[in-house]
RNA sequence: GCUGGUGUAGCUCAGUGGCAGAGCGCGUCCUUGGUAAGGACGAGGUCAUGGGUUCGACCCCCAUCACCAGCUCCA
């Protein structure tokens, strides 16, 4: 008898022809009930698949990432089946499982709104209640094309025509049949907790030139409890939203008079200033020189740089006294003019010019998102000019700097991505090959995990990007490193080598935080507004209990001032509980309550935002402590 | 830019084809109270903007703008 070896090393004897489901029932009824799929010799398959001979066998349950994906993918099929029943003329796009759920794209005779989801959900519930089986059908590709043509499923035909295999698999759920690789749950009844969440538009194949389909999003979990928890955590995440906290903490605002442009309030400026001060310190230490270039430059420059050709749609233009000007969408051309204003020796290289450069980009109206996507932002930019031999080390230096900065700000959950040459680009094949090679080399030598995105590079060079997740788990780009051979060519940049001849430098564009605005957005969401003390707009607030303590409170304030602490004194005629509540809502790290005892002993009663009442501490030692916390830029766990 | 949704006081939100509402915040006064909301009174609105339907529109219709979710794009 053949045997199946389970992950724990146990062997199960089975009869040839037994499906994985049957074998699961040998192991135990609970497993047989909860396994949504199987892995036979490492290949993910349906639980109904029958192994052959001695195999390794692993059962996939809904509570594993793989199992959850199967569950959700199956839920998307049930969604499609339900939609087809309600809208028989629906044409089906694709319906994969995604990070927090699944979606399915449809072309429908009417545009759906949120209210249309309920009847669809009810139809899905019926299918689940009937426990309709998922049946796998394998057929020659040609026949599948015929079937789909008969059903009028043009999108499926398009996909099938691009598949290279001779045989394809389809899954039948009730009277619904969909092209699909699988695997799926054996029966719809295994979907215990499914919910449709939203409708949205989506382009067929993500191409804005093609049909606009309607996408229905949903999510599924093994149990209702987990679904409820997920929905609750989404609600919690909304409370971290930087747009909400930006208003609550009085950091910034947006106005109809300038859509996509942030207005920074005093609290926000305090935060930004602190970030920039630290940034300058680190860059100085790492051999960067700071430069500053104009916001508006002659349009001719942008023709020379290639921006007009490749980036025009994101640029703002204006005319003054007949001179055509453009607001800079990037800082590089300005820096190039600085480089070219003098002759350079190889001895100067690598030359690192940093710039906190304010750029303007015309973003399409639908894409703006708080501070994370704006039309004017400050790139924490730098351009490094170096020799070909220096490129890899410089890239490594930049990657190291980015990681260093992110960690100092407490952001350790990032994704690294390498992007290669896009279709719209300048420069020769050799340049691109060499540039991409040095990026791969740098990441490999630093032993970093990264993913590769083909064709996603900048028009002038390939890049390494760092991505961070926002509160709703959407990833946003922050740091970036881009190797550029083209711009030095276009601007005829040179340096004099040891051979006394002119050579072409290589240019590295890089941003560590990405944009100061976006970065502030990340920080707000990461800390839910309760910043590390060194970043907090107001670091301590003195709370006198009654009027007679105001004088001492003022003295505490003067001590804090002398130590460089950003502080306030709350002299309102409110009860102490009220003052504490207000300071807590403003997420001020330290509350210093002063009453009779404190006045007498020259102490402060320290309460940290987050709840802990530390009792009385001598004023001197508190001032020393907070001063050290700030100057060391300590990140406390709260 | 595309699909769907939302725009009422500084904020969060009720509401009706016939005089515009609440809570919080804000102002004044009272209160001086030891760790998450003390009390009284008061001010605040072209109901996003522009057209239309109607005796009459914040409400119904159309357009525009902004915002929200997603698509595309991106620091």
Q: What does the pLDDT look like over A86-113, one tens digit per residue?
A: 998 899 999 999 888 999 999 988 888 8
- A427 pLDDT band (50/70/90 cuts)? confident
Average pLDDT over chain A, rounded to an integer:
92
Provide CATH code, domain A70-230. Answer: 3.30.980.10
Check residue A593 and give its pLDDT.
97
Reported ipTM: the value is 0.94
- How would you classify the pairing of strands A414-419 and A451-453? parallel
- Find the Å distance, CA of residue A620 to C1' of nucleotide B38: 34
pLDDT of A31 reads 81
Q: What pLDDT sits at residue A512?
A: 96
Range with the largest mean pLDDT of A146-160, A343-357, A413-427, A446-460? A343-357
pLDDT of A152 > 80? The answer is yes
Give CA angle at A598 (A597, A604), nearest 5°: 140
Structure tokens at A287: 């051999």
Of all residues in chain A, the percent with pLDDT exceeding 90 is 65
Higher per-residue confidence, A3 vs A326: A326
pLDDT > 70: percent of chain A: 100
Neighbouring C-alpha atoms within 13 Å toward the C-beta of A463: 22
pLDDT of A22 reads: 82
Is the domain A540-631 a CATH 3.40.50.800 member? yes
- As a whole number, mean pLDDT of residues A532-540 equals 97
A612-637 tens-digit pLDDT? 889 999 999 999 999 999 999 999 87
Average the pLDDT over each of A108-122, A379-393, A485-499 and give the range with the smallest value.
A108-122
A138-152, A238-252, A388-402, A568-582: segment of lowest average pLDDT:
A138-152
Residue A269 confidence class, pLDDT cut points 50, 70, 90: very high
User: What would the pLDDT profile of A510-530 be if each residue is shown by its tens digit?
Assistant: 999 999 999 999 999 999 999
Residue A63 pLDDT level (bands cut at 50, 70, 90): confident
Q: What is the pLDDT of residues A471-504, one digit of tens each?
A: 677 788 999 999 998 899 999 999 999 999 999 9
At residue A116 the predicted structure's pLDDT band, cuts being 50, 70 and 90, is confident
Instruction: Say if residues A101 and A219 touch (Cβ distance below 8 Å).
Output: yes
Sign of CA dihedral A230, A232, A235, A237: negative
**Pairing between strand A323-327 and A252-253?**
unpaired
Separation of A296 CA and B66 C1' (Å): 27
Read off the pTM.
Answer: 0.92
| Nucleotides of B strand lying within 7 Å of any protein CB atom | 1-5, 11-12, 30-38, 65-75
Measure the CA–CA gap between A333 and A337, rounded to whole angstroms.
6
Residue A218 CA to B35 C1' — how many Å?
A: 45
Q: Which residue has the tokens 């909860």?
A: A34
Cα of A430 vs its chain's centroid, Å: 32
Nearest nt to the A595 alpha carbon by C1': B34
Q: For A313 and B4, how far is CA from C1' in angstroms?
A: 26
Through-space separation of residue A197 CA and nucleotide B51 C1' in angstroms:
37
Fold designation for A269-293+329-526:
BirA Bifunctional Protein; domain 2 (3.30.930)
User: Nearest nucleotide, C1' to the C-alpha of A573?
Assistant: B32
Q: What is the pLDDT of residue A559?
A: 97
**Does pLDDT of A611 surpass 80?**
no
- Whether residue A505 contacts residue A495, with contact meaning beta carbons closer than 8 Å, is answered with yes
pLDDT (mean) for A54-74: 88
pLDDT, mean of residues A412-420:
91
pLDDT for A20 equals: 85
Domain A3-61 matches domain A269-293+329-526 at the CATH topology level: no
Residue-range domain boundaries for chain A: 3-61, 70-230, 269-293+329-526, 540-631
Using C1' positions and the CA of A583, the closest nucleotide is: B36
Tell me the nt nearest to A380, Cα to C1'.
B75
pLDDT value of position A39: 86
pLDDT score, position A636: 84
Q: What is the CATH number of domain A3-61?
A: 3.10.20.30
Helices (H), A200-354: 224-239, 242-248, 266-285, 299-305, 307-311, 332-340
Band (A335; pLDDT cuts 50, 70, 90): very high
> How long is the CA A82 to C1' B42 vector, in angstroms?
58
Residue A435 half-sphere exposure, CB side, CA atoms within 13 Å? 32
In tens, the pLDDT along A279-309 reads 999 999 999 999 999 999 999 999 999 999 8
Can you point out the beta strands (E) in A333-447? Answer: 351-360, 376-386, 414-419
pLDDT of A54 reads 86
């Amino acid at each position: 008898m053949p045997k199946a070896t389970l992950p724990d090393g146990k062997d199960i004897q089975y009869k040839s022809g037994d499906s994985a489901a049957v074998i699961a029932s040998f192991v135990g009824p609970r497993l047989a009930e909860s396994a949504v799929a199987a892995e036979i010799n490492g290949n993910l398959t349906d639980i109904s698949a029958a192994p052959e001979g001695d195999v390794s066998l692993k059962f996939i349950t809904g509570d594993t990432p793989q199992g959850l994906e199967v569950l959700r993918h199956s839920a998307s099929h049930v969604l499609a089946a339900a939609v087809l029943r309600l809208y028989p003329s629906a044409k089906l796009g694709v319906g994969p499982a995604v990070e927090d759920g699944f979606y399915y794209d449809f072309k429908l005779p009417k545009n759906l709104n949120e209210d249309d989801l309920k009847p669809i959900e009810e139809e899905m519930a019926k299918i689940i209640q009937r426990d309709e089986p998922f049946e796998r059908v394998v057929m020659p590709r040609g026949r599948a094309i015929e079937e789909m043509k008969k059903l009028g499923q043009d999108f499926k035909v398009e996909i099938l025509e691009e598949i290279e295999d001779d045989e394809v698999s389809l899954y039948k759920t009730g009277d619904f049949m969909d092209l699909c690789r699988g695997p799926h749950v054996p029966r719809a009844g295994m979907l215990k907790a499914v919910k449709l969440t939203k409708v949205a538009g989506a382009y067929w194949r993500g191409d804005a030139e093609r049909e606009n389909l309607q996408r229905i999003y949903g999510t599924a979990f093994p149990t209702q409890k987990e679904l409820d928890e997920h929905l609750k955590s989404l609600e919690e995440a909304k409370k971290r939203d930087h747009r909400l906290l930006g208003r609550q903490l009085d950091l910034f605002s947006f106005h109809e008079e300038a859509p996509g442009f942030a207005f920074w309030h005093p609290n926000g400026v305090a935060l930004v200033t602190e970030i920039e001060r630290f940034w300058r310190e680190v860059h100085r230490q790492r051999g960067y020189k700071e430069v500053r270039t104009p916001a508006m430059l002659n349009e001719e420059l942008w023709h020379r740089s290639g921006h007009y050709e490749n980036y025009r749609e994101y640029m703002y233009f204006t005319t003054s006294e007949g001179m055509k000007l453009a607001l800079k969408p990037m800082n590089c051309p300005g820096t190039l003019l600085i480089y070219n204003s003098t002759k350079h020796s190889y001895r100067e290289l690598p030359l690192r010019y940093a710039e906190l450069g304010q750029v303007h980009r015309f973003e399409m109206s639908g894409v703006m998102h708080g501070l994370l996507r704006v039309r004017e932002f400050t790139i924490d930019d730098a351009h490094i000019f170096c020799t070909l031999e220096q490129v890899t080390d410089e890239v490594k230096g930049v990657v190291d700097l980015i990681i260093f900065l992110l960690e100092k700000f407490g952001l350790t959950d990032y994704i690294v991505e390498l992007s290669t040459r896009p279709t719209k680009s300048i420069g020769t094949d050799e340049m691109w090959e060499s540039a991409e090679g040095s990026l791969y080399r740098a990441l490999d030598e630093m032993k970093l995990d990264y993913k590769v995105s083909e064709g996603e590079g900048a028009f002038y060079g390939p890049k390494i990007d760092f991505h961070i997740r926002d509160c709703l788990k959407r990833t946003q780009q922050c740091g970036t490193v881009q190797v550029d051979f083209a711009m030095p060519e276009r601007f005829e940049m040179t340096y004099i080598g040891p051979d006394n001849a002119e050579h072409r430098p290589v240019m590295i564009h890089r941003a560590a935080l990405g944009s100061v605005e976006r970065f502030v957005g990340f920080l707000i969401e990461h800390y839910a507004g309760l910043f590390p003390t060194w970043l907090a707009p107001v670091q301590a607030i003195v709370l006198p209990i009654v009027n007679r303590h105001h004088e001492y409170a003022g003295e505490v304030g003067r001590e804090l001032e002398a130590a460089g602490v950003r502080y306030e004194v709350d002299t309102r005629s409110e009860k102490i509980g009220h003052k504490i509540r207000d300071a807590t809502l403003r997420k001020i790290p330290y509350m210093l309550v002063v009453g009779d005892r404190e006045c007498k002993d020259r102490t402060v009663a320290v309460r940290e935002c987050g709840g802990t009442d530390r009792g009385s501490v001598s004023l001197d030692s508190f001032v020393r402590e907070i001063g050290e916390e700030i100057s060391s830029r300590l990140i406390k766990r709260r």
